[in-house]
Amino acid sequence: MRIAHVAPLYERVPPRLYGGTERVVSHLVEEQVRRGWDVTLFASGDSRTGASLVAPVPRALRLDVGAVDQLAPHVVELSQVFDRAGDFDLVHCHVDYLAFPFSRLVATPTVHTLHGRLDLPHTRAVLGHFDDVPLVSISDAQRRPVQDIALTWAGTVHHGLPLDAYPVGAGRGGYLAFLGRISPEKRPDLAIRAARRAGLPLRIAAKVDAVDRAYFEEEIEPLLADPLVEYLGEIGDAEKPAFLGEAAALLFPIDWPEPFGLVMIEALACGTPVIARRCGSVPEVISPGRTGFIADTVDDLTQAIRRLDRIDRAACRREAEVRFSVTRMADGYESVYERLEAGAELA
């Protein structure tokens, strides 16, 4: 099986720090390499992979201060892929609608995993135009905003992790964890309020994008004065397992239709339960009372924190092993590829 993966160029594969899509691409690519497939990865030149790397740019765009135009490198990347589409049995794209037109112009079967939200106005128009292009959703919930459009869904494949890289922690650090990005739709303010009310320390490991700088300074920084709250900045892969594994729970009080929420399964893999709000994929990922709690208000979140002793950390890890391993994700994509190739042969 000769397969090309087309990754976004914003972060290297895998990312050094934050970066969900590029991390998932890395997990999938390395598992396919392990299975002996002939994998070509199109990604930034600082990526680390066992696949053949083709690099449209030497460095990931987010860390390259000279990269003013972020679209042009992606256009070059798509040309590099589709000029030689015949070299591959299948092309697997992770760059959103930008690659859709090429699906129709080459004979090689092409599939697109949608990593983003689908509830924005332009998304409906663009998906509607490409209703014959094979798509993979990363949760069933992700499809909901466009469920009235007849699209060509090739499947839902939940993200999966290489579980060896996420050792189970004891959860004895005596703190709650918030991990990811400081932005209004992630509701770090709710996490802080619930932790304070429960009287437990909260450790925040998160990046602040330029677009969220004002929100951070006006809404969140004043809340950091509380001695219960500690802001660590952005952390790397090496620190993440200990950060998650020693936490009593991950707080994930989001306020947007999260298409998957990779950090939830990272927490489960480390044996750490998740307390989340009922948005997007959350009910698909978390089983209330078994691997965490789903709560809405600060009151509910606080109640959930107080009931954490009812959760068995071993059950959280087991859930990750059964439902969210990289093996299971790669099997899921293998089924998708088989259906696409069968379809291409029929056509």
Binding stretches for a second copy (CB under 8 A): 57, 66-69, 71-73, 75-76, 78-80, 82-83, 97-98, 100-102, 104-106, 120-123, 125-126, 129-130
| Dist CA 150 CA 134 (whole Å) | 12
CB of 168 to a second copy, least distance (A): 42
Calculate the alpha carbon distances from 346 to 4, 181, 297, 339 in Å: 22, 45, 52, 11
304, 264, 329, 60: CA torsion to nearest 10: 170
| Dist CA 334 CA 157 (whole Å) | 10
Length reported for the chain: 347
CB of 94 to a second copy, least distance (A): 16
CB of 107 to a second copy, least distance (A): 11
CB of 105 to a second copy, least distance (A): 5
DSSP assignments along 184-210, one per residue: GGG-HHHHHHHHHHHT--EEEEEE--G
Distance of CA 157 to the CA centre of its chain: 12
Calculate the alpha carbon distances from 209 to 96, 150, 214, 252, 337 in Å: 21, 35, 10, 18, 36
- In the DSSP assignment, the letter for residue 328 is H
Pick 121 or 222: Cβ nearer a second copy: 121
| Dist CA 232 CA 338 (whole Å) | 44
Question: What pairing do the DSSP bridges indicate for beta strands 202-207 and 229-233?
Answer: parallel
Pick 97 or 293: Cβ nearer a second copy: 97
Pick 122 or 222: Cβ nearer a second copy: 122
Tell me how far apart the 2 most distant CA atoms of the chain are, in Å.
64
**Closest to 260 in 3D by CA, of 122, 94, 108:** 94
CB of 85 to a second copy, least distance (A): 9
CB of 130 to a second copy, least distance (A): 7
Pick 63 or 224: Cβ nearer a second copy: 63
**Closest to 332 in 3D by CA, of 15, 31, 1:** 31
Pick 75 or 150: Cβ nearer a second copy: 75
Pick 57 or 282: Cβ nearer a second copy: 57
CB of 104 to a second copy, least distance (A): 6
CB of 79 to a second copy, least distance (A): 4
Pick 122 or 322: Cβ nearer a second copy: 122
Pick 131 or 237: Cβ nearer a second copy: 131
Backbone angles phi, psi at 189, to 5 degrees: -60, -40
